[in-house]
Structure 1
Amino acid sequence: AVALALQRVAAWGERARAEAAARRRADADARTALEVDIECHPLEPQLSQQVNNMMRAEEAAGRAGKHDKKRRLTAKIDAAIAQECRNALLYIIDLHKKRRTQLHRAEAAERAKWAKAMLARADALQREMGFTAGRLP
């Protein structure tokens, strides 16, 4: 009877380890898929209409020979593009951070759910075999 109980416990342990390994592989695959998606589909910010209008005005000033006005517009355009790029980068970083955080939270919730189910299965196995809690052979 004890040998049979030990075999059942060993088989249960093997299944539990296999399920845990499969869960870890699935989590790793999900993280890899997210990183690949982020790398393969980058967000590309668009320049604002205001910057596009300033660029057109700069081109018109250059064609009209108004070099002082063109230089002033060029400086404004450079500053506006730099600010828009900073803002876009911060937005993209925040968005990717949120996506990663959501994935990690979902994985943690799944792991907790799995662990709770495993404990319930272990308790059921103990009761089925007639052992009291904490006294597996």
Structure 2
Amino acid sequence: MKRLTLIFLLAMVIVCFVFTTGLTQKKVLHLYTALDTEEAKYYIEAFEKETGIDVEWVRMSAGEVAARVEAESVNPQASVWHAGSNTSHISAALKGLLEPYKPNTDFELSEILYAKDWAWSTSSDFLVSSFTSSF
């Protein structure tokens, strides 16, 4: 669980840093998650505490997130799709709905745990994350 939390926090920090560098206005990270509400709160609160960045999030099933990401493809409303079935993420990636993002980690993920272009990535616990737009 610690490694999974670290992966999530690191990815979120990097995303936030990359897209907020040089900006004075406080940014809010918008996130869709398919995790159980209590589990999502755990990760999100840890991220907010670690980074000081506010997260506005919506919890839905993976199918609902996939449908929403597709419906918002012209005007994405969230930057991160966290968790859900890998088939939902893979399908969205094949439709061109996700932006590639390679996390900067101090370890290497096995090649079976991410798309070749990094449109989605997962952990050994099969928690999948994708990036739907610039933050």
Q: TM-score, length-normalised on structure 2?
A: 0.24
Higher relative contact order (CA 8 A, sep 6+): 1
Q: TM-score, length-normalised on structure 1?
A: 0.24
Q: Counting helix residues as a fraction of each chain, which structure ranks higher? A: 1
